[in-house]
Amino acid sequence: MIIAAADGSALGNPGPAGWAWYVADDCWAAGGWKHSTNNVGELTAVLELFRATAHLDDELLVQCDSQYVINSVTKWMPGWKRKGWRKADGKPVMNLEILQELDAALVGRRYRFEWVKGHVGHPMNEAADERARAAAESFRSGLPVPSGPGWSGACIGEPDAAAPATAGPEPAASAAAPEPSAHDDRSPADATFFDFDDPTADWLTMSLDLTVDEHTRLLERARAAGQSPEEFLRGLI
């Protein structure tokens, strides 16, 4: 599985904008525009990630802090297509061209999305956010845009070795999900990983069975985060 983060940034929203996807420090890409919106940056980051990995058969896990992007792909897009790319109120879908390109890029791909809260220190999300913002700032300043190495030989092998273990649930499809009018980073109702019987308990014990490969990856990710495996797992939960 390829684990990647995708993010967008717009200074002023709209304003100088950037996008970025990130797998590792030697496997990422970024770009942007002189004037665009945050949602365009978020969508483009995901689109460019799918394009960069189109030659691979690996499952792709996209970590994203944008509910707009996740819901567009997993909930709303089928209904939009049936209605001729119009929303429930009959108005045209915004960012239509990018959404149609993304719809085409998803064909035949194995993928899922994981919502992560932005700007709280999530390593992968922060790395993508920093690169997207750097692209936006470069356009604002008229400086060369740090576009990254892209997908190269350095991405092959263990592309997700620096990534934290993933634990969030896949966003559930729902035809009744409300359509957004703007970028929304609030936690979706189904973003809670566990629903304990006693939410007031100070301490709860749980056991987790891991394969040898999963345990090795957990140790690597915990070490990269400067934490013990136990502390790392507690942070995910």
Q: State pLDDT tens for residues 106-143.
A: 999 999 999 999 999 999 999 999 999 999 999 999 99
188 and 221: one domain? no
Q: Please tell me which residue in 31, 32, 41, 42 is annotated as part of the active site.
A: 42
Report helix, strand or coil for 112. strand
How many domains does one find in the chain?
A: 2
Asked if 58 is an active-site residue, the reply is no
Q: Please tell me which residue in 48, 114, 129, 160 is annotated as part of the active site.
A: 129
Is the pLDDT at 48 greater than 80? The verdict is yes
The confidence score (pLDDT) of residue 154 equals 75
Please write the tens of the pLDDT for every residue from 152-169.
Answer: 877 864 434 333 433 333
Q: Please tell me which residue in 12, 25, 59, 119 is annotated as part of the active site.
A: 119
107 and 171: one domain? yes
Strand partners, 31: 19
Place of tokens 């999963």: 214
19 and 136: one domain? yes
52 and 134: one domain? yes
Average pLDDT over residues 64-72: 97
Q: Please tell me which residue in 8, 18, 31, 32 is annotated as part of the active site.
A: 8
Structure letter (DSSP) for residue 154? G
Asked if 42 is an active-site residue, the reply is yes
204 and 181: one domain? no
Asked if 185 is an active-site residue, the reply is no
Structure letter (DSSP) for residue 92? B
75 and 129: one domain? yes
Q: How far are the Cα atoms of 61, 141, 151, 231 from residue 187, in angstroms, in the given order?
A: 18, 33, 30, 23
User: What stretch of H or E contains 87?
Assistant: none
Q: Please tell me which residue in 18, 31, 48, 65 is annotated as part of the active site.
A: 65
pTM for the model stands at: 0.68
Domain at 67, CATH number? 3.30.420.10
Domain that holds residue 212: 194-237
54 and 84: one domain? yes
Is the pLDDT at 76 greater than 90? The verdict is yes
Contact 159, 23 (CB under 8 A): yes
180 and 140: one domain? yes
Asked if 8 is an active-site residue, the reply is yes
Q: Where does the pLDDT of residue 4 fall: very low under 50, low under 70, confident under 90, or very high at 90 and above?
A: very high
Structure letter (DSSP) for residue 94? T
72 and 177: one domain? yes
Is the pLDDT at 198 greater than 90? The verdict is no
Average pLDDT over residues 189-203: 34
177 versus 90: the higher-pLDDT residue is 90
